[in-house]
Structure 1
């Protein structure tokens, strides 16, 4: 039985960037770019019309930037996973976006395989942080990085070994189904672990949990 395609909306104000990303995604037969937008306002309109599985949003766009578009779509199209496209020069935007409902961050200049993996991951309900983006976020958090690492480890200390295993895999960008297969448990158990950890640590979403996993050193590579 053929798996359904992942339907993607691509939004970037640079036509050349859109063409490049479309070419990468089109190389994977399981991914279909169903619409393209040149600004944030158009991205919202097209997302509401096409209801894609994933919306890839450039952080900086005219009319509405990617973060503003994501805020609107989080409410208007809650079934669409939101992924921010960024560059190395946009650290402050990335830090702002950590408090939003996005599912992942990808570098425009990153490995094409990473782009495909990220789209697949968020379509499957996972969070996905490009390793380079994760490193930039941790660096941007400043000179207190060591203390933040200590704080992150302290926050995770009360978790059980199994919960920490789940957190590490969330940080690595795996979906609940993938984590369940890796740990030889049912998917519902993983979902329960993730929900419990988010509530206990007062985190809003899987992306914030993924960042915490990176800060605590649970994610390598």
Structure 2
């Protein structure tokens, strides 16, 4: 099978890195480097130009959020898929704001990790269902002003734009959304462009986050 992607694994636990490498390479995805710290991760991205960085949040010295923020600030388009644990969900919102393309829990099944890598590289957001539930719970606890703003933004959407946004929040691809709504993929793309403008979103994860936040409020 032809190699379809180049991935860098970043985690301070060598056993986690070894396990992820085994899972990833079983799908013929090339692991082009491993790092145990954010500084090394940035150097690897510069030297290897991977399609995706599978990135732990908690690491000594430079953490995953700082790595993500640095990549985005310098305009790097490498996809970032955060790997987190149940006890680190307090960092998830900050990681997404920093520019991460999605996140998974570390106990995700191997097949789902492979799927998540493919989806992230394709530009689709990856939000682990279990972690998403915790994300929604965390959003509920955030300041009311943020939630109210999200609700007001969502209220400006048309019914069809809202349907598309919900599909994105559920992790669906453009094709899946088009099939569910019985419209063309181009029509879905047009609605997504409108969502970027109306919600002030930079990517699909931003759209999903706004939907999650808005769901915690309402009339």
With normalisation by structure 2, the TM-score equals 0.84
Q: How does 1:2-151 map to 2 (within 5 A)?
A: 5-29=4-28, 31-76=29-74, 78-143=76-141
8 Å CA contact retained: 1:124, 1:175 = no
Q: Describe the superposition over 1:143-189 as per-residue Cα deviations: whole angstroms up to 9, x where unpaired.
A: 57999888755542332232222212211223335544555555443
* Distance in 1 (alpha carbons) for counterparts of 2:186 and 2:62: 37
Q: Describe the superposition over 1:41-66 as per-residue Cα deviations: whole angstroms up to 9, x where unpaired.
A: 11111111111111111111122111
What secondary structure, in the 3-state scheme, does the structure 1 residue paired with 2:135 have?
Answer: helix
In structure 1, runs of 5+ residues without a counterpart are none
* Distance in 1 (alpha carbons) for counterparts of 2:68 and 2:198: 26
* Distance in 1 (alpha carbons) for counterparts of 2:163 and 2:5: 28
Task: Please identify, of 96-105 and 206-215, the stretch whose mean Cα deviation from structure 2 is larger.
Answer: 206-215
Question: Given the alignment of the two structures, is residue 196 of structure 1 paired with residue 202 of structure 2, yes or no?
Answer: no
What secondary structure, in the 3-state scheme, does the structure 2 residue paired with 1:141 have?
Answer: helix
What secondary structure, in the 3-state scheme, does the structure 2 residue paired with 1:89 have?
Answer: helix
Judging changes above 3 Å, is the alpha-carbon distance between structure 1 residues 49 and 180 closer, same or farther for their aligned structure 2 residues?
Answer: farther
8 Å CA contact retained: 1:48, 1:77 = no
What secondary structure, in the 3-state scheme, does the structure 2 residue paired with 1:203 have?
Answer: coil
8 Å CA contact retained: 2:10, 2:38 = yes
* Distance in 1 (alpha carbons) for counterparts of 2:27 and 2:182: 29
* Distance in 1 (alpha carbons) for counterparts of 2:24 and 2:135: 26
Structure in which a larger fraction of residues adopt helix: 2
* Distance in 2 (alpha carbons) for counterparts of 1:91 and 1:119: 20
Q: Describe the superposition over 1:41-100 as per-residue Cα deviations: whole angstroms up to 9, x where unpaired.
A: 111111111111111111111221111111222244623111111111112211212311
8 Å CA contact retained: 2:80, 2:101 = yes
* Distance in 2 (alpha carbons) for counterparts of 1:125 and 1:77: 16
With normalisation by structure 1, the TM-score equals 0.83
What secondary structure, in the 3-state scheme, does the structure 2 residue paired with 1:56 have?
Answer: strand
Shift of 1:129: 0.8
